[in-house]
Amino acid sequence: MLEWAELKSPRDSGNYRCSGKILLVAREASHSNRFPMTSSSKPGTYAAPHPTVSIIVPTLNEEEDLPILLGSIKAQSFSDYEIIVADAGSKDRTQEIAEAAGARVVPGGMPGPGRNRGAEASRGELLFFFDADVDLPPDFLERAVGEMNERMLDLATCEFKPKSDLKLDEIMFRFANLSVKMNQDINPRAAGFCIFISARLFRRVGGFDESLKLAEDHDLVQRASKFRPLRVLKSTSLKVSIRRLEKEGRFNLVQKYMQVELHLMFKGNVRDEIVEYEFGNFANESEGGGVLDDIESRIIQIERAYQEFADAVGPDEDGGEGGASGKAFFEKWRTGFDAAIKAFGKIAKPPQ
């Protein structure tokens, strides 16, 4: 069996080096299916010996969020997939929930090792790495696989949106997505909960580096992008919870990420525990109480006060903002104003 020693260039005409010899590999037409989009009789069943997609999810005590992800997978319009849950020894019903949904459960560990164990058990041509708190639109797999075929991609990610109605979260996620797009050719990286990579490329780079304490997802993408460029999918996106933001505090988490980024920039990969990171156990709330937590709490209170005010006022009967008759218009504004005063009054008090 031949093993490719290296790919000559991410953008060459298809040259590979094998055992010291250069072999020319003809590229397929852009409209052909590099990853065949076949269908099995039932989503998640293993009718095909080699499914197109292997969905890999590392877990630890995920009985609350995992059913949402599994439900969104079951609702997919694309059915040629398998689900592998790499569990790190959950004490709750995570494994039971996964098996009931038709997933194969294998021993896992921290996110990097867990994803590797899942990949080792996989049979798909594409590996889709998600976290348990991800929620997919019904046509996600169909669109993602189709676009990877059309654009001949071996390495991809997608935009991710917060499962939150707060503008603060929307802004933070927009910035994160913009950073991924701007850096895909300069400093390619992708979040571990939305990495899509061909199995052959994953094996070529040796999977996730299990010696790393943090940012093993960025490291995988950077190594893989030396052979095939990272691209952000244009046809679809996914949603992810804000549980880590709520657990650790939004600004505290940004501070941690900045510390990791500086370490990567000046010292290289993170092999020591430079910041505290807890895998799973999102039921435990953050103690908070710091300056950044105080600022965050007040910003969120202001935003919710505004939203409460806007909801109380609402549009007029004709759908506009200024067409209500005198008394009705006044009553709406008075109700909204009272709601705003009540909400802003809470802001003057120290956060609980």
Looking only at the bridges linking them, the beta strands covering 126-129 and 6-7 are: unpaired
Any idea what the Cα angle at residue 240 is, between residues 238 and 242, rounded to 5°? Answer: 155
Q: Which residues of the chain have pLDDT under 50?
A: 1-32, 39-47, 319, 321-324, 347-348
- pLDDT, residue 247, reads 82
- pLDDT, residue 48, reads 58
pLDDT in tens, 143-163: 999 999 999 999 999 999 999
3-state SS, residue 218: helix
Q: In terms of DSSP H, where are the helices of 101-183?
A: 111-120, 140-150, 167-183
The two tokens of residue 114 are 């867990």
- pLDDT, residue 166, reads 87
- pLDDT, residue 28, reads 38
Cα separation, 346 vs 351, in Å, equals 9
pLDDT in tens, 295-322: 556 555 555 665 665 666 565 555 454 4
Distance, CA of 39 to chain centre: 25
The two tokens of residue 239 are 């949603």
Cα separation, 190 vs 230, in Å, equals 9
DSSP 8-class letter at 336: H
Facing residues of 310 across strands?
A: none
Domains of the chain (ranges; CATH) run 1-29 (no CATH), 31-266 (3.90.550.10), 291-347 (no CATH)
| Residue 184, burial from CB neighbour count under 10 angstroms (0-12, 13-18, 19+) | buried
DSSP 8-class letter at 107: E
- pLDDT, residue 44, reads 47
Looking only at the bridges linking them, the beta strands covering 195-198 and 231-240 are: unpaired
